[in-house]
A and B are shown apart, each in its own frame.
Chain A
Amino acid sequence: MLITIAIVTGVFMAFALGANDVANGMATAVGARAITVKQAALIAALLEFLGAVMFGAMVTKTIASGIVSIDHMQDPNKVIIGAISALVAATAWVMLATYFAMPVSTTHSIVGGMVGFGLVSGGVKVIYWDRLWKIVISWFVSPVVGGILSFLVFKILAWTMLHREHPLRAAKKVAPLMIGFTFFLISFLFSLKTLKKGYGESLRYAILLFVVSTLISWFLVKRFSNSDKFKDEYDAVEQIFRRVQVLTSAYVCFSHGANDVANAVGPVALIMMITKTHTTSVGSIEIPRFILFLGGLGIALGVLLYGYKVMRTIGHDITELNNTRGFSIDFGTATTVLLSSIFGFPISTTHTVVGAVTGVGLARGIEVVNIDVLKDILISWFVTVPFSAGASALSYLALTSLMHI
C-alpha cells in the first residue's frame, strides 16, 4: 500500500516536472520559431526520458541516501514513512508555489523534505551536514557556472564568427565544431560515468563521435547555407544557429531529465531499496534502473500531456533572444546541469537558466534581467527549504502516530 502511494506520488511529481519545466529547455527554440510546439514536445519528451534513464542514477542516489543517514535509523518502516512524507511535502509545496506563480525549485523542495523527516525521526545527528552544505553551495555555484559558460560560449561565437569580415563563412566552420563538441561532451560523460569505462576508452568513443557529428553537421550546414536566401550575413548566421539551437534545446531537456528525475523518484528509490533488502543499510546499493525508467516516463508524459500547453503560451517571439544568444544560454545551462548530475548534485535547472541568461547579458549579448525575478528567486530560496522541511516533518509525525509506528 505504502509503496503504491510512493510510486503514484513520485510519478505525479515527475509529471509535474515535465509539465512545468519543459519550457525551460524548449522556450528558446519555440520562441525563435525553430520548431513547432508539437515537435518541441516530442523531442523534449524523448530527451527528458533518455536523460533520466542514462544519467539520473547519481542524483537519485544523493536524494535517496546522501542527505539523511538511513543507516542510523533502526526501523525500516519509519524510513519508508519519512520518504513518503518528504515526497508529499515537496509535491504540495511545488503545487502551491505554481498556483501563486512563484519560481520555486523542486530540487530545493525535495532536499528540504528529506531534511525535515530526518530531523524529526533521528535528530540532528542523522543528517549528513557536510554533504548537505555541499548541495547548498552547489545551488549558489550552479547559476554562476552556467553564467560563466554561457558568457564564454557567446564570446567565442562573437570572436570566431560575428566579428569576422565574413560571418557566414566563419559560421560554416564554427557551427559544426560546436555541434561536434556537444556530442563529444555527452558521449564522454556517458561512457565514463554511466557505462563506467576508463578515461582512455571514453575519450576514444567521444573523439569518434565528435568527428562523425562534426562531419555530418558540416555537410548539413553547407547545404542549408547554400540553399536559403538571407537578409544579410548576420541573418544567415542566425538562421544556421536556428537549426543548431534545436540540438542545444534538446541537450537542455536531456540534462534536465538527468538531474530532476531524482526529485520525483529519489524517495521512491529509497523505499524500493529498503523493501528489497528489509534493512536500512542501503548505502552501497545501486539505484534500480526501472525507477529511473518510471521517473523518465512520468516526466515524458508531463511534457506530452501538459507541457505542450505550457509551451503554447510562449506565443510571442522573445525578440531579443536570437539564436546565437539562445544557443549560448542553452549550452551553458545544459552543460552545468549535466555536470552536476554526473557529480550527484541536485540543482535547480531554472536557476541555472537565470545564471546563463545573466552570463550572456554580461557579455553584452542580451538586455536582461528584470530585477523583480531575481528578488522572487532569492525569496524562494529562503522560503522553500524551511517550508518543505516543516511540512515533511509534520506529515511524518502525523503518519507515524496514525499508523502506531
Chain B
Amino acid sequence: MANIFQRLIPYKSPIQLLVEHAQLCVRAGELMEQAVKDYFMNMEISSISTLIDELEDEADAIKLKLREIYSKLKWTYFNKNDFLDLLHNIDSIIDLTDDVLKMLTMNNIENVPQDVKNDVLKLAELVKMSIKHMYENVEELRTLIESAFSPREIRKEDQQAEVVEKEEHSSDLLGIEIGKRLFSLKNSMNAVDIMFLNSVVILLMRIEDRAKNVVEKVRLISHT
C-alpha cells in the first residue's frame, strides 16, 4: 500500500514542472535568436524550426501534466487561476517563438539594409535575454516558497520583475524604430518584404510582452 504521504503530496512538484516549462522557453529563445541570424545570412533554418517544434511538444506535455496535478490539489501555494494564467503566459512564449520560426521559413527577403538587419538582430537578442530573465524570475519562486514567502525574497522577485519590465520598454522602443525605418523604405524595398519583416518584429515584441506578463503575474502571486 502506498504511504499516505505519497498519496497526499503530488509525485512531481508543480513548481518544478513550471520551472522546467520556463526552461524550455529559454532554449527556444536561444534557438530563435540563432535562426534570425542564420536567416539574414540566407542559411537554412528548417532544422531549427523542427527543434523548436519539439520543444513546443515537450512544453505541451508538461502543461498537461501540470493541469492534471493542479486540478486534484486542494491547497496550493497560489490562487489556482493565477497559477494557470501564469502557465498560459509562459506557454505562449514558446508558441510565439515557434510562430517566428514558421514565419521565417515562409519567405526570403531581399535588399534589406544592414542597419535594419542589425536592429532586428538586436531585438531578437533582447527578447532572448528577457526570456532568460523571465526564467530566473520563475525559478526564484522555488526560493520564495522555501523561505515561506519571506519579505526578503518577495523584494528580490520584485527587483527581477523590474529588469524584465525595463527590457520590454527598450524592446518596444526599438521595435517602433525598426517599423518606422522599414516603412521609410517603401520606395526602395519590396512592399511585401517590408510587411513581412514588420510582422516578424511585431511577433518578437509580442514575445517580450508575454515575458513581461509572466513577471507581472509572478509579482502578483508572490504578493497575495
Residue ranges of A at the interface with B (Cβ–Cβ < 8 Å):
20, 23-24, 27-28, 31, 98, 101, 103, 154, 157-158, 162-163, 165, 167, 232, 234, 238, 310, 313-314, 316, 318-322, 324, 350, 353-354, 357-358, 361-374
Choice from A163, A232, A365, A373 contacting B4 with Cβ under 8 Å:
A373
Choice from B1, B13, B147 contacting A167 with Cβ under 8 Å:
B147
Q: How many residues of B contact A (CB 8 A)?
A: 30
Within 8 A of A (CB), among B107-126: none
Known: A158-B148, A234-B147, A319-B12. A367 touches B76 (CB 8 A): yes
**A313 to B75 Cα, complex, angstroms:** 26
Quick one: closest A residue to B150, CB to CB? A163
Residue ranges of B at the interface with A (Cβ–Cβ < 8 Å):
1-16, 72-77, 143, 146-152
Known: A24-B3, A101-B2, A320-B13. A162 touches B147 (CB 8 A): yes
Determine whether the beta carbon of B4 is less than 8 Å from that of A364. Answer: no
Residues on A with beta carbons closer than 8 Å to the beta carbon of B6? 27, 314, 318
Quick one: closest B residue to A23, CB to CB? B3
- 6 nearest A-B pairs in the assembled complex, by CB-CB distance: A361-B75, A158-B148, A23-B3, A369-B74, A319-B13, A162-B148
Residues on A with beta carbons closer than 8 Å to the beta carbon of B4? 23-24, 27, 103, 350, 353-354, 373
Choice from A31, A357, A364 contacting B8 with Cβ under 8 Å:
A357
Known: A162-B148, A367-B14, A367-B76. A373 touches B8 (CB 8 A): yes
Chain A binding site: helix, strand, loop or mixed by DSSP? helix
Choice from B3, B8, B75 contacting A362 with Cβ under 8 Å:
B75
Determine whether the beta carbon of A20 is less than 8 Å from that of B1. Answer: yes
Determine whether the beta carbon of B13 is less than 8 Å from that of A163. Answer: no
Choice from B10, B77, B147, B149 contacting A370 with Cβ under 8 Å:
B10
Kindly provide the distance from the CB of A401 to the nearest chain B CB, expressed in whole angstroms: 36
Quick one: closest A residue to B2, CB to CB? A101
Kindly provide the distance from the CB of B69 to the nearest chain A CB, expressed in whole angstroms: 9
Residues on B with beta carbons closer than 8 Å to the beta carbon of A24? 3-4
Quick one: closest A residue to B74, CB to CB? A369
Best-buried of B4, B10, B16, B77 by chain A (most CB within 10 Å) = B4
**A354 to B1 Cα, complex, angstroms:** 16
**A368 to B6 Cα, complex, angstroms:** 11
